């Protein structure tokens, strides 16, 4: 589907969900504009009425593309996979595609929401231990799955939506001081993926809204 207008990504440099979309755009070779939505500044810019009109859940990302506004990172990834040329982000084989969705959903539903900013703000003083608990719980499930089905990447030897979800989640794990050495398959895959250009250019340390002290 050709379009004259570049997509617009409303996101935050350190948001794992925003990073997923940046990776997908990079893998597909899609040029896009970014509008930063600072989740901390001004009490959280995502909570302003202007942004709520874009994403009623008041979360990032939101993406304006092809005359519509999309939210929820996995829905955005699947939309651009279905409408843009370039490498497939979901395999054509139904079994492999199901495996990609299992891994993606495990991360996007079973780990990330339980340690995101909104939840941690409600937890208070125990937020680090809370985040560590739910990341470890998810990784303990994810590690044996990946050990069984991974190749060079999460599902076989082609980068997929599963990999797009994995790397931002490992980044979060490291932020919360989770010992990733416990999960050798996850660690191997993450290190391999971070060497690829799409994951490098989309990294939180290289975004327009990345604070100077966190830039690579």
pLDDT in tens, 58-93: 999 999 999 999 999 999 999 999 999 999 999 999
pTM equals 0.95
Lowest mean per-residue pLDDT among 43-52, 102-111, 176-185? 43-52
Query: How confident is the model at residue 61, as a pLDDT?
Result: 97
CB 175 within 8 A of CB 23: no
CATH of span 8-87: 3.40.30.10
Cα(10)–Cα(50) distance, integer angstroms? 12
Domain ranges of the chain: 8-87, 94-199
Query: How confident is the model at residue 216, as a pLDDT?
Result: 82
CATH class of 94-199: mainly alpha
94-199 matches 8-87 in CATH topology: no
Query: How confident is the model at residue 4, as a pLDDT?
Result: 56
Cα of 179 vs its chain's centroid, Å: 20
Cα three-residue angle 116-101-197, rounded to 5 degrees: 75
Query: How many residues belong to the chain?
Result: 216
Confidence check: pLDDT of 46 > 60: yes
């Amino acid at each position: 589907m050709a379009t004259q207008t570049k997509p617009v990504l409303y996101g935050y440099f350190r948001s794992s969900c925003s990073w997923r979309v940046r990776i997908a755009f990079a893998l597909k070779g899609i040029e896009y504009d970014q509008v930063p939505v600072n989740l901390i500044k001004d009490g959280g810019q995502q909570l302003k009425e202007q942004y709520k009109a874009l994403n009623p859940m008041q979360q990032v990302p939101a993406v304006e593309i092809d005359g519509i506004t999309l939210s929820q990172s996995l829905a955005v990834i699947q939309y651009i996979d279905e409408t843009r040329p370039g490498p497939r982000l979901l395999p054509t084989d139904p079994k492999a595609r199901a495996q990609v969705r299992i891994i993606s959903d495990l991360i996007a539903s079973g780990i990330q929401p339980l340690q995101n900013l909104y939840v941690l703000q409600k937890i208070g003083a125990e937020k680090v231990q809370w985040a560590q608990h739910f990341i470890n719980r998810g990784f303990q499930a994810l590690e044996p799955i990946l050990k069984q089905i991974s190749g060079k990447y999460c599902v076989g030897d082609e980068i997929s939506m599963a990999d797009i979800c994995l790397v931002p989640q490992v980044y979060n794990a490291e932020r919360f001081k989770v010992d990733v050495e416990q999960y050798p398959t996850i660690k191997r895959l993450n290190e391999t993926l971070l060497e690829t250009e799409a994951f490098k250019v989309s990294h939180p340390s290289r975004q327009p809204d990345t604070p100077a002290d966190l830039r690579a």
